[in-house]
Structure 1
Amino acid sequence: MTERLATGPGAIYWHVPNKGALLDAATASVVATAMAVEVTGSPQREIRAIALGLFEAIERHPWLSPQLALRLSRSPWSSVTPRIFESIGQRVSALGVPESTWFTATSALVHYIFGAAGQNAANSQVLGLGVDRAEFLRATANAWEELDPGEFPFLRSIADEARDHDDREQFLTGIDLILTGITGAEPGGSTRP
């Protein structure tokens, strides 16, 4: 960055004390932008929008995933983690689910977002090394189809789906599955007895 700005590292460190503080500030900025969503009155739509914003931010900034994991495990009280939990948690509470489930439901969503988005970013980095995504998925699906049918019936059965899947759609389907579980609704909208 200092090279692009034609300054030395001292110019940045005039404003921040060290690399950790710089990463904290960059993380907070990227996360704040990713979580800026339009209030629609639908907690589900807003959770999906926040999740997709974080997914795309992590995809654009692969360094963000390890930073978020580090913040979550080492300093869950720092500025970024509470903002993510608060933003999603407010919407979880607006779903009308019992208060006793808010922490677990919000944690499930946040951990899924961090994990799935982080894995996608890691995959993108590998694919960024000159590997074609479609070719990689084809090779993976072909390898799964060649596995022993007695030992790997599941992987063989989903090989075609893995070959042609869309990462964002798969991610959002995961969010929808979690939201369905949180709200106690059956797929299709009816509620459980």
Structure 2
Amino acid sequence: MPTRTPRSSRRTEALSRERIVAAAIDLLDIAGETGLTFRALTERLATGPGAIYWHVANKGELLAAATDAVVTAALTREPAEPAATPRERIRAVALGLFDAIDEHAWLATQLAIQMSRDPAGTLAPRLFEGLGRQISALDVPEAAWFTATSALMNYILGAAGQNATNGRNATHQDRPDFLDTVATTWENLDPEEYPFTRAVARQLRGHDDREQFLDGLDLVLSGITAVHSSDR
């Protein structure tokens, strides 16, 4: 007759690190970093704190794991066409990161914290690998891989993070109204001190953030390939 596994053992086996991280991401999306507590996590997973501590040592490790999980999913985003070029693959990865940062309000801050606090951790190498493989596939000389990949990564994270911040700041009103308010403010600036800003104000009004992000990405990639075309 088969031996029955005690209920507590079955629960511990079912409570994997992946389940804990997924629940942490849900809590972060709902309540932000302050809402991610081990008490809230135990209630969400219907378990005791000891079972969670078996897999995750502390909140810092949990935040790092949640950030890594979301970034990993974004980096594995596949382009629409199976036989995509390196440039198209970079666009797919960039859009994956853009959408992830836009969807998870906490992610931009955690990316900055994780990258600066633990540059030797898994996050920076994961980002460099995901983008750098495609940079090398663009026939960029190896001596320029680090600089080119750094420039590309800084643009993607910076632009996506700024877009997410703008989106949160505009939550109190419709986006078109928000952009119209900012554009009107720019148009009313001193014409002698801000001639350029006044001139582009109309382009700000009603622009598409996603299209602007991709246009900027194309500028970065075109610059990378143009600068290094003479090296090939």
Q: TM-score, normalised by structure 2?
A: 0.74
Q: Which residue number corresponds to residue 85 of structure 2? A: 42
Q: Which residue number corresponds to residue 161 of structure 1? A: 203
Q: d(CA) in 2 for partners of 1:33 and 1:164?
A: 31
% identical aligned pairs = 52
The 5 A counterparts of 1:52-63 are 52-63=95-106
Q: Which residue number corresponds to residue 119 of structure 1? A: 162
Shift of 1:9: 7.2
Q: d(CA) in 2 for partners of 1:70 and 1:143?
A: 33
Q: Alpha carbons of 1:181 and 1:143: their partners in 2 closer, same or farther (altered >3 Å)? A: same
The 5 A counterparts of 1:45-124 are 45-124=88-167
Q: TM-score, normalised by structure 1?
A: 0.89
Q: Which residue number corresponds to residue 188 of structure 1? A: none
Match of 1:134 among 163, 167, 176: 176
The answer to which structure, 1 or 2, has the higher relative contact order (CA under 8 A, 6+ apart) is: 1
Task: For residue 37 of structure 1, give the secondary structure of its aligned residue in structure 2.
Answer: coil
Shift of 1:61: 0.8
Shift of 1:59: 0.6
Shift of 1:89: 0.6
- AA aligned opposite 2:127: I
1:31 aligns with 2:31: no
Task: For residue 44 of structure 2, give the secondary structure of its aligned residue in structure 1.
Answer: coil
Q: d(CA) in 1 for partners of 2:111 and 2:147?
A: 19
- 63-72 or 133-142: which moved more? 63-72
Q: Alpha carbons of 1:71 and 1:9: their partners in 2 closer, same or farther (altered >3 Å)? A: farther
Unaligned 5+ runs, structure 1: 186-190
Shift of 1:119: 0.9
Q: d(CA) in 1 for partners of 2:202 and 2:46?
A: 51
- AA aligned opposite 1:69: A
Q: Which has the higher helix share?
A: 2
Q: Which residue number corresponds to residue 179 of structure 1? A: 221
Query: Residue 40 of structure 1 contacts residue 46 of structure 1 at CA under 8 Å; is this kept in 2?
Result: no
Query: Residue 93 of structure 1 contacts residue 102 of structure 1 at CA under 8 Å; is this kept in 2?
Result: yes
Superposition RMSD in Å = 2.1
